[in-house]
């Protein structure tokens, strides 16, 4: 099923450090695609604070033009974007054999979005009002599911 985050407690600093102690996730790059510049800056800061390498893109076409994620990376993709919505981007990436896991960010939750996410292979959805509460946990979970030890 699809995991939708509302409010979720994240572990304290010690728990986060332990979660990254093995260094596996730290090597990955998180590709963030978001057309709201303020949200993009905030997501970059949040992910970099947790030790992730981050590349940001203001649109799906910008990501497609500038470089694709590798299998060990992770995508954080906004659903509603002007040029190309998040699902269109995911479909384009999958057609180019990009298998990196995706965390979908949306302010528009609902059964239709969840169904489309599931059919696109997206197992993690983060709701915009609660990004800071749950994004890191969903990124880690998506990456661990894609690459079990």
Section 43-56 average pLDDT: 94
Residue 22: phi, psi to the nearest 5? -70, -15
Neighbours of 103 (CB within 10 A): 27
pLDDT tens per residue across span 87-114 = 999 999 999 999 999 999 999 888 999 9
Which run of H or of E encompasses 87? helix 86-95
- Give the CA-trace dihedral at 74, 137, 86, 68, to 10 degrees: -10
Does residue 91 contact residue 67 with C-beta atoms inside 8 Å?
no
pLDDT at 23: 54
pLDDT at 26: 59
Q: Which of 96, 140, 142 is nearest to 121 (CA)?
A: 142
């Amino acid at each position: 099923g699809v995991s939708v985050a509302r409010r979720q407690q994240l572990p304290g600093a010690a728990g986060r450090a332990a979660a990254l102690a093995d260094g596996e996730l730290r090597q990955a790059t998180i590709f963030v695609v978001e057309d709201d510049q303020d949200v993009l800056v905030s997501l970059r800061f949040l992910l970099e604070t947790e030790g992730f390498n981050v590349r940001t893109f203001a649109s799906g076409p910008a990501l497609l033009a500038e470089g694709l994620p590798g299998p060990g990376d992770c995508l954080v993709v906004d659903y509603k974007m002007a040029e190309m919505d998040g699902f269109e981007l995911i479909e384009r990436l999958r057609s180019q054999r990009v298998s990196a896991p995706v965390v979908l960010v949306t302010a528009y939750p609902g059964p239709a979005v969840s169904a489309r996410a599931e059919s696109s292979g997206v197992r993690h959805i983060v709701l915009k009002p609660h990004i800071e509460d749950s994004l890191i946990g969903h990124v880690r979970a998506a990456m661990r599911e894609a690459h079990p030890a």
